Amino acid sequence: MATVKFSNIVKNFKDNQVLKRVDLEIKDHEFVVIVGPSGCGKTTLLRMLAGLEEISSGEIHIDDTLVNHLHPSKRQIAMVFQDYALYPHMTVEENMSFSLRIKSAPRKEIQERVAEAASILQLGKLLKRMPKQLSGGQRQRVAIGRAIVRQPKVFLFDEPLSNLDAKLREEMRVEIAKLYQRLGATIIYVTHDQVEAMTLAGRIVIMNQGVIQQVGTPIEVYRKPDNLFVAGFIGSPTMNFIEGTLRVEKGHVRFVSPSLSLDLPASLLPAEGAHEGREAVIGVRPDDVYAGREAGKNCSQKVDAVLEVSELLGHRENLYLKAGDLRLLATVEAFFNQSPGSVVPVCFNFENMHVFDKASQKRLSA
């Protein structure tokens, strides 16, 4: 049973405001991933929850208990650090049992809990090793093991996979997902990698410059990004953005830009006088840009674009296109049999298109 509630959290380092009024509620048994670019304050937020960093103002509750002034060890949390922070002079076993040993827990209990954690993480053979004798992935598992032994209400992970190579990162991602199912604890996981966020999270919290941009399930933040930042941050490859002006014409909205103009369907943006003359940005993911044959069968309102470069990914292919002065990325099915320099027809999937207000950066479309 563990819920976490951040209310109006502010953090200042001298004059530098790193977190600006963060409000967030995390439910019991939830896997929440906080994602954002480096330096946006994710670690700081996590450290404040752990009690390692002072709270400038605001309140943090764990299970309705105000923990602002509670010692880290009393908060029933466990943290896995980015650099693992394994005690270098202790064996794996000693590292994992440290919290119990300093409390003088009964030896039998210590053994049982270490053995249990070791079996969950398959660390049995490594218990007598020193941290420096372990590979990166093994150290990672020991750091998680140390957290499990404490039987915390909330697990905190700070970029746990960022020091691993790509293949190992994928493996550990799956292991962490399995671990979550097995432990059923509340997990707060911080990362700058949106792929990790999308694959692991029950709910994603997207942060930028100390402000929460959007909270939602992976599908929600992918399908309906609240603002331009989220739209650009979530999804790979990155969304295409087209800047232009909105005109309200007989019953529909027309988007006008130097390179292309589009009549937006009412399902995307209903015609209202308020939109007349508004500076807007259209966002469309590379998957929703149709080119060549796909453009022929799927849509109206075609534009001609020049193919600059194409990249074969396997079953998909990235096309770097240029329509007028506008650069577009389209991801289409392989094999797109056109050589660079040729002119291809391009159109857009209006169902998955997003319209944002340029001034407020907020989402306009439904």
Partner 1 sequence: MELLRSVYEVAGFILLIALGVAALEGYFYYHFKFHDRPWFFWAGLAVFPLLVWSGFVAGGIAKPGLFAWLFAIEAVVLAFFRYAVKGRHSLAYLLLLPAFVGLALLLVYPFLFEVYLSFHDLKLTTIMMWKNTGKIPFVGLEQYVKVFTTSPLSEVTFWALLGRTLLWTFSNVFFHVLGGFALALLLNNAISLKGVYRTLLVIPWAMPQVVAVLAMRGEFHSQNGFVNIILGRIAEAYPLLAGLGVGPVQWLSDYPLLTCTIINVWLGIPFMMVVILGGLQSISTSYYDAADIDGASYFQKLRYITLPLVKPVLMPAVTLGTVWTFNNINVIYLVTGQAGGTEQADILVSALYKAAFTYNRYSYSAAFAIVVFALLFFISVTYLHGFDAAKDER
Binding residues for ligand ADP, rule: CB under 6 A, are 13, 16, 18, 36, 38-44
List the one residue from 14, 69, 88, 315 that touches partner 1 (CB under 8 A): 88
Would you say 36 or 145 has its CB closer to ligand ADP? Answer: 36
Would you say 46 or 100 has its CB closer to Mg ion? Answer: 46
Element (H, E) at 225: none
Q: DSSP labels for 65-131? A: EE-TTS-GGGTTEEEE-TT----TTS-HHHHHHHHHHHTT--HHHHHHHHHHHHHHHT-GGGTTS-G
- What whole-number distance in Å separates Cα of residue 171 and Cα of residue 151? 24
User: Min. distance of Cβ 13 from ligand ADP in angstroms?
Assistant: 3
The residue whose Cβ lies closest to ligand ADP is 43
Would you say 99 or 191 has its CB closer to ligand ADP? Answer: 191
- For the chain, the C-alpha Rg in angstroms (whole number) is 25
Q: Considering the rule CB under 8 A, would residue 87 count as an interface residue with partner 1?
A: yes
Would you say 102 or 166 has its CB closer to partner 1? Answer: 102
Q: Pick from ligand ADP, partner 1, Mg ion, none: which does 341 bind, CB < 5 to 8 A by kind?
A: none
Q: Which stretch binds Mg ion (CB under 5 A): 42-50, 224-232, 289-297, 307-315?
A: 42-50
List the one residue from 11, 150, 153, 169 that touches partner 1 (CB under 8 A): 150
Query: What order of strands is seen across the sheet that includes strand 4-13?
Result: 16-26, 4-13, 57-62, 65-66
Would you say 190 or 347 has its CB closer to ligand ADP? Answer: 190
- What whole-number distance in Å separates Cα of residue 277 and Cα of residue 273? 9
- What whole-number distance in Å separates Cα of residue 11 and Cα of residue 41? 9
User: Min. distance of Cβ 343 from ligand ADP in angstroms?
Assistant: 44
List the one residue from 24, 35, 43, 323 that touches Mg ion (CB under 5 A): 43
Q: CA of 311: how far to CAs of 189, 222, 329, in Å?
A: 33, 24, 11
- What whole-number distance in Å separates Cα of residue 115 and Cα of residue 119? 6
Element (H, E) at 330: strand 326-333
- What whole-number distance in Å separates Cα of residue 132 and Cα of residue 304? 58
Q: Pick from partner 1, ligand ADP, Mg ion, none: which does 132 bind, CB < 5 to 8 A by kind?
A: partner 1
Which residues lie near partner 1 (CB under 8 A)? 47, 50-52, 71-74, 77-79, 81, 83, 85, 87-89, 98-99, 102-103, 130, 132, 146, 150
